[in-house]
Amino acid sequence: MSHSSPSIQLKQQNIKEELKDQFNQFEKPRRQLASTNPPIKRSILLLGPTKSGKTTLANVLKDPFYIPPYAKVGSSENQSPTVTSIECYTSTHITVNIVEIPGAMLNNEQNMTQIDEACTKLGVTQFNRVCVCASFESGILETDIELFERLIKHFGEERIKPYLSFILTRCESKDEESRANITEDSNKDYKFSRVMHWFDRRIHFTGALNPVDWDRANEGAILDQFKSVCKDRRRFLEFIERNPGIESFNIQSPKERSSLISSFRSNLSINSTLGKCEIIEQAIENYRNKFQSIMLNHDPLPDNTDEQKVLAVLNLEVISEICESYPTIHGDESYNLTIEQTNGTIKAKTIWGVLNGLVTFSQLLFITDRNQVAINASIVIEDEPRFPHRGILLDTDRRFLTVTVIKQHLDMMAYNKFNVLHWRLAGDQYWTLESEQYSNLTQDVPWTDYVYTPEHVKEIIEYARIRGIRIVPELNTPGYVGALSQFSIDCDSKSTHKKDNYEQRVLLDPTKEKAYSFLEIILKEINQKFQNESYIHLGMNRIYSKDCMLTIDIQEFMNKTNMTDGTDLMAYHLSKMLEITRKLEVKAMVWQDVWDAGVKLPREVVIEIWKNTSLVSEAQSWSTYLSKAIHEGYEVILAAPFNLSMLSYRKWSASDSIIDSEFYKWYNIDLFTDFIGNETIRERLIGGEAILDEKSVDATNSLKRFWPRAAVVAEKLWSVSNMNTMEDPLARFYVHGSRIHELLKS
C-alpha cells in the first residue's frame, strides 16, 4: 500500500472502529444462535484460473476486514496449493477448511491430476463443496470456460455436479439489481450458458474492501462495501452450512480413478452374508426379474476408460445379522454401496438398507455404445433417508383400485424408495372392506369384484412387506360415512343452504353410542389385519359444522353434555376414537382439520398437513401450519406441497432448456422456508406423502397420474435439505422417468 498522511491514517482508524461496531452488531445474533446448536465442520475446494480472486475470497471468509494489497489485486497471491482453516458463526459455530489450488496448476488436462495429488499432500481429500471462481474485474474469457469444462471432465460430470458452486469475486460494488442482471445474462450468453447448468444456474457473489478507497479514506464507499462484503460472506457461509452434499466429495488419486467395468445379467453372483432370509431372497429375485432389465440410458465410453473388467460378484452384508419380518417407522434404512473392479458390496445395518442399496445399484447400470451392460468404478456411496416416513396416499374409499393396480403402485414405491402406503379404506358411498362380524356391510357394492376380502388385504400387506413398505390404514371419520346410514346424520337437513356434495353433508352421528361400538369392532378387525403396524389414521378432515347443531338430537346431546359448539363435538368424537386406539395399543394419525378447529390433541397424535392457500382459499400457507404444529410439540407429516392433483405446466423459453416440466413445483420446495428452530425441533417433521385427491382417478388412470411424477416427491423426502433446485438432476429424472414407464409395462 502507499504511505498515507497522518490525517488519512486518523480517518482510517475511525473507519476501522466503525467497521468493527457494524460487524459486532451484525454478528451478535448469530453468535447467540450458534451457542444453542452443535458445532459443524465443512471443507471446500477453491478452483479457478489465475486472477479469479480465490486468495482474496479465502482471506475475506477468514477476515471480512481484509484489504487486498495493490500489487496482488487480481493476481495469484499463492503459487502453491494451500489449506486454511477458519472459524465463524452462522446458525452454529462452523469450522471451514479451505483448500486453494493455484490457477497455474490448471493449464491443461495433464496438470489436472495435480489437484488430486495436492489435496492428498495437504491431508484434505473430502469436500462438501467444490467452488469454481471467476473475477468480475477480469471478466470470463473463452479460456476460462474451457478450463471449467476440463475440470468437469476431470472429476466426472455426474460425480461432481451435486457439489459444484460458481463464485464471481470482486462484486462488492454491485447492487442486487446488477447481480440479477449478471445472472440472467450469464444464463443467456451463448458460450457461458453451456456451463451454467453445472452450477444450478446460480452465481454466488463475493467481494472485498477496495484498497484504493481505503488509501483515500473514502468512508462512504468503504462502509457500503463492508455491508456488501459481510452480507455476501454470511450468505455463502450459510450456503456452505446448509448444503453439505449427500456425502463428501472424495478426491481420488489417478491410480484410483475409475475404468469402466462390464456386468452381465447372466453371470452376476449376488451373495448375502445373512444366509436364509426371505426378504433378501425376494429382493434379489425382484432385481433380476424386473429392475435390472430397465437400463435405458445408452452412454458412450468415457475417455479415461481402461481395459474393461467384469463385475462378477455383488455381496450383501447385513451388520445386525437379523432377518427382520416387518419394517418399522424408525428402522435404519441407510446403506453403503462400494463398486470396485470386479466386485461390489452393499453393506447396511438392517435388511431394509440392503433393499435400498439394491435399488440404487440397479439404477447405476447402463448400456454402453458397444451394447454392453456396464457400471462405473470405483464407486463409493453412503446414503440414508432424510425422513423416516415417505409415503403415498391411495384412496380406495371413493374409487376402487384392484389388487393388481395396488401391487403395481407398491413396485413403483419400492423403486423410488417410498416406505409407507397410506391406504384410505372403505366408508363413503360403499363399504368395500369385507368385515368378518358385519358381513352385510358390503351388500350394497354394485360389483362383487369391488370388495377387498381378508385374503386380498393379506396379499397386499405381504407384497408391501417384502419390499420394505409399511401400510398405514385410514378409516376416515366423522365424515365419509355415507355407507353407514344407520350411524350417520345429514347435517344439511335443517339448513337453508344445502351442499350439493353429499359427502360433505353426511357425518357420523355422535349421539349414537352404538356408532362407536361399531367403529371399535371395525378398527379392531383392521388392527388384526395390519397387526404389525403401529399407526392407524383416523382421518378427521371433515368436522361438525354449525348446520349439524341444528338437528334436535344433537342439540339435546350438546345441552346434556354441556357442549357449546362444533369444536366440543369434534373433541368428543376424537376422545371416543382415541379410547379405541389406546385399547388396541396403536398410535393415531389425523388430518389437520380437527387441530385447526381448536381441538386440543394429545402430543402422541401425529398431524398430517394437507391445506395450502392454493387448495383452500381461506387457508394459510402450509409452512405456517407446519411451523405452528412443530412448535406446539406435535410430530407432523407433510402432504400439502406434494398434492399431485394440482397439474401445472411450464412454458417453453428460448433461454431455458426445460420444457413443460411440472417437476419444478415440487423439487424447488424448501420444506423449512422461514422456519425458526434448531435441528431437534425440525426432527418433529417425520416425513411427507404424495397425495392424489380426485374422484376422477380410478384403476384406469391411477398409475399414470402418480408415476413418474411422484418420483420427485420421493427424492425430496429422501435427499438432504440442500436439494432444492431442479436444473442439476433434470436429465437424470428424464432417464428415471423412462425407466418407470418401462417398469409399468413389464
| Model pLDDT, residue 497 | 47
What is d(CA 65, CA 531) in angstroms, rounded to the nearest whole number? 64
Cell of 639: 402432504
Contact between residue 57 and residue 169 where contact means Cβ atoms under 8 Å apart: yes
Cell numbers of 227, please? Answer: 455491508
Q: What is the pLDDT of residue 302?
A: 54
C-alpha cell at 189: 450468453
Q: Which listed CATH number (3.90.1150.10, 3.30.379.10, 3.40.50.300, 3.40.50.1950) goes with 258-383?
A: 3.30.379.10
Which residues, in sequence order, are CB contacts of 700 under 8 Å at separation 6+?
none
The percent of residues in the chain predicted with pLDDT above 90, rounded, is: 41
- If you search the block for the grid coordinates 451392460, which residue do you land on? 373
Q: How many residues does the chain have?
A: 746
DSSP 3-state assignment of 277?
coil
**Residues 6+ positions from 320 with CB-CB distance below 8 Å:** 349, 350
Q: What pLDDT score does 506 carry?
A: 79
Using the 8-state DSSP alphabet, how is residue 433 labeled? Answer: B
List strand residue ranges (DSSP E) for 251-325, in order. Answer: 260-262, 269-272, 298-299, 309-310, 313-318
| Segments of the chain scoring below 50 in pLDDT | 1, 72-76, 246, 253-259, 263, 265, 307, 495-503, 649-660
416 Cβ contact list (under 8 Å, min separation 6): 710, 711, 714, 715, 740
Q: What is the pLDDT of residue 656?
A: 41
C-alpha–C-alpha distance, residues 580 and 576, integer Å: 7
Tell me how far the alpha carbon of residue 199 is from its chain's centroid.
Answer: 19
- Provide the CA 500 distance to its chain's centre, in angstroms: 39
Q: Say what the pLDDT of residue 124 is.
A: 87
Phi, psi of 56 (to 5 degrees): -60, -40
CA 49 to chain CA mean position, Å: 34
Report the CATH superfamily, name and number, of domain 389-745: Glycosidases (3.20.20.80)
Rounded to the nearest 10 degrees, what angle do helices 730-745 and 403-415 cross at?
A: 150
Report d(CA 431, CA 546) in Å as an integer.
28
For 655, the grid coordinates are 433461454
CATH of span 6-252: 3.40.50.300
**Cβ atoms 213, 225 nearer than 8 A:** yes
Instruction: Report the Cα 503 to chain-centroid distance in Å.
Output: 34
Residue 2 has a pLDDT of: 52
What is the reported pLDDT for 1?
Answer: 46
Alpha helices in 200-314 (DSSP H): 211-215, 219-242, 278-289
Q: How far apart are CA 416 and CA 294, in angstroms?
A: 14
pLDDT of residue 655: 39
**Distance between first and last Cα of the chain:** 72
Q: Which grid coordinates belong to 707? A: 408415476
Q: How far apart, in whole angstroms, are the C-alpha atoms of residue 651 and residue 690?
A: 24
Give the start-to-end residue ranges of the domains of the chain: 6-252, 258-383, 389-745
Q: What is the pLDDT of residue 28?
A: 77
Q: How far is 137 from 144, CA to CA, in rounded Å? A: 14
**So what's the pLDDT on residue 353?**
98
Q: How far apart are CA 180 and CA 166, in angstroms?
A: 15
Burial class (CB in 10 A: 0-12, 13-18, 19+), 51: buried
Residue 301 C-alpha from the chain's centroid = 31
Give pTM, 2 decimals. Answer: 0.66
Q: Which three cell numbers stand for residue 362?
A: 440397479
Helix (H) or strand (E) holding 24: helix 6-34
Q: What pLDDT is attached to residue 650?
A: 47
- How many Cα neighbours within 13 Å face the side chain of 400? 15
Residues whose CB falls within 8 Å of the CB of residue 177, separated by 6 or more in sequence, listed in order: none
Q: In which element (H, E) is residue 590 found?
A: strand 587-591
Q: How far apart are CA 438 and CA 459, in angstroms?
A: 21
* Contact call for residues 644 and 651 (beta carbons, < 8 A): no
Helix (H, G, I), strand (E, B) or coil at 712: helix
